[in-house]
Amino acid sequence: MIHIFPVIVRLVAVVVLFCGFTSRAEEGWPQFLGPRRDGTSRDVLNLKWSQEGPPVLWKREVGQGFAGPAVAGGRVILYHRAADKDVLECMESTNGATVWKYETPSTYTDDFGFDEGPRAVPTVVGDEVYALGADGLLSSVQLSSGKLRWAVKLREKFAADKGFFGIASAPIISGELLLVNVGGKSGNGLVAFRRVDGSVAWHVGNDEAGYSSPVLATINSEDLALFFTRAGLTVVRPKSGEVIASFPWRSRTHGSVNAATPLVSGDQIFLSSSYETGAVVLRYTKSGLEKVWSRDGVLSSHYATSILRDGFLYGFDGRQEQRPTLTCVKFATGESVWRQESIGAGSIIGAANALVVMMETGELLLVEPTSGGFKKLAQAQVLPNGVRAYPALADGSLYARSKNQLYCVDLRSANR
């Protein structure tokens, strides 16, 4: 007699175990600001470090660039510049070893003498990697092989401006389309490309591109794409490109940018900008966008996107070069809850049990996500000074780059 029940039990256990690992691996950090493009991760982190700080699993030399890494399928994908070439490089997440490189010539020159590498984090889905260079070259490359699928020169095709610091808005996937804030002329401000061949599915608007990256949201049962352009918020239907709402939000100063990515909670949208512009929460309704609150000097983001958690916003208030303040603000009202003054500039990732604050100085902080006041859980000098790129957090490892080095830092909890 065959004992079927024990076999079924073992089979179910294997399937459950496999699904658990698959789900965990699939989340990764496949695009700018992570799997949900809101800067959050479900990883539980180790909150107790030695005096030396968290272990560095590996580090390696890389080229120029403000583009942070993406992590997917056990690979780290970094877009950086070596000499006169932009290099899209795929590495092993375990040791940083190169799997493949895809290189293209680059003539981008920064008008302010800053870094001349790529700015936009690659976007990964399935076997596809989408990279957008500072000079406007949009490329689709196979993750498995590094072979080019298609490429489009956005500045040439759509008459897009260079902007102050090159092109930096990371593309986002919506079904079979790739949505890009191109900033082109003659109705080519926002463009949707077909993922299969790079052909244009729709194009709309004339706003210049900002440095904010678009997000997707479902509000009141409607699927929406939100673009924070240089002029303000534009809400479109991702399948058709139909513009259904807009809201101007831009500094009166010419030398200004919108850089932080919109955050969505329910039917409300949070925008923030520096240059005496400030923060605003908008409610999306069938009749359009209505202002819930707005104010400056509470959470005016220069370039770092805030974290929204349990009804509170955590972010940097103030200009990057003027030592901004790390602050907590009530999302519903804009009320300031606590402020850690003049902490300096950086970026924030919201993990399951801590805020991961990567400072420009290379210091790494873990901060308790609480409205009860600023509570530092751990602190260490991990990277050299000069960290401007957004890090990635995948399976408890933090992947962060300085001017010329990429680090993999072990933040994994022993109890995971």
Domain shared by 81 and 197, yes or no: yes
Write the pLDDT tens digit of every residue in 185-232: 999 999 999 999 999 999 999 999 989 999 999 999 999 999 999 999
Write the pLDDT tens digit of every residue in 381-398: 999 999 999 999 999 999
Give the domain range for residue 101. 67-167+169-210
DSSP label at 15?
Answer: H
251, part of any domain: no
Domain shared by 174 and 99, yes or no: yes
Mean pLDDT value across residues 245-262:
93
161: which strand partners? none
388, part of any domain: yes
List the end-to-end C-alpha distance of the chain, in Å, as a whole number: 41
Write the pLDDT tens digit of every residue in 128-174: 999 999 999 999 999 999 999 999 999 999 999 988 999 999 999 99
pLDDT of residue 13 exceeding 90: no
CA 273 – CA 280 distance, rounded (Å):
9
pLDDT of residue 12 exceeding 90: no
Q: What confidence category does residue 16 fall into, taking pLDDT thresholds of 50, 70 and 90?
A: very low
Among 72, 66, 140, which Cα is nearest to 102's? 140
Residue where a domain stops, chosen among 183, 210, 237: 210
> What percentage of the chain's residues is helix, strand, coil (to nearest 5)?
10, 45, 50
Domain shared by 149 and 111, yes or no: yes
And the tokens for 225? 């794409």
The pLDDT assigned to 370 comes to 97
335, part of any domain: no
Q: Which residue has the tokens 């996500």?
A: 369
Domain shared by 87 and 190, yes or no: yes
Q: How many structural domains are present in the chain?
A: 2
Q: Which residue has the tokens 């990256």?
A: 213
106, part of any domain: yes
Residue where a domain stops, chosen among 177, 193, 210: 210
The pLDDT assigned to 415 comes to 57
Domain shared by 174 and 85, yes or no: yes
Residue where a domain stops, chosen among 210, 239, 261: 210
Where residue 114 sits, what CATH number does that domain have?
A: 2.40.128.630
pLDDT of residue 22 exceeding 60: no
CA 197 – CA 179 distance, rounded (Å):
14
The pLDDT assigned to 254 comes to 86
Domain shared by 193 and 87, yes or no: yes
131, part of any domain: yes
Q: Please answer whether residues 261 and 213 qualify as being in contact, where contact means their C-beta atoms are separated by less than 8 angstroms.
A: yes
**Element containing residue 284 per DSSP (H, E):** strand 278-285
Mean pLDDT value across residues 307-313:
98
32, part of any domain: no
3-state DSSP assignment of residue 220: coil
Domain shared by 46 and 76, yes or no: no
The pLDDT assigned to 414 comes to 65
Angle among Cα 99, 104, 105 to the nearest 5 degrees reads: 140
Among 144, 150, 148, 237, which Cα is nearest to 193's? 150
Domain shared by 90 and 159, yes or no: yes
Domain shared by 54 and 161, yes or no: no
159, part of any domain: yes
CA 206 – CA 159 distance, rounded (Å):
11
Confidence (pTM)? 0.92
3-state DSSP assignment of residue 47: coil
Domain shared by 48 and 180, yes or no: no
284, part of any domain: no
Domain shared by 45 and 179, yes or no: no
Domain shared by 188 and 147, yes or no: yes
CA 167 – CA 160 distance, rounded (Å):
9
Look at 344 and 26; give whichever has higher pLDDT: 344
Other CB atoms within 10 A of residue 276 CB: 12
Residue 148 identity (one-letter amino acid): L
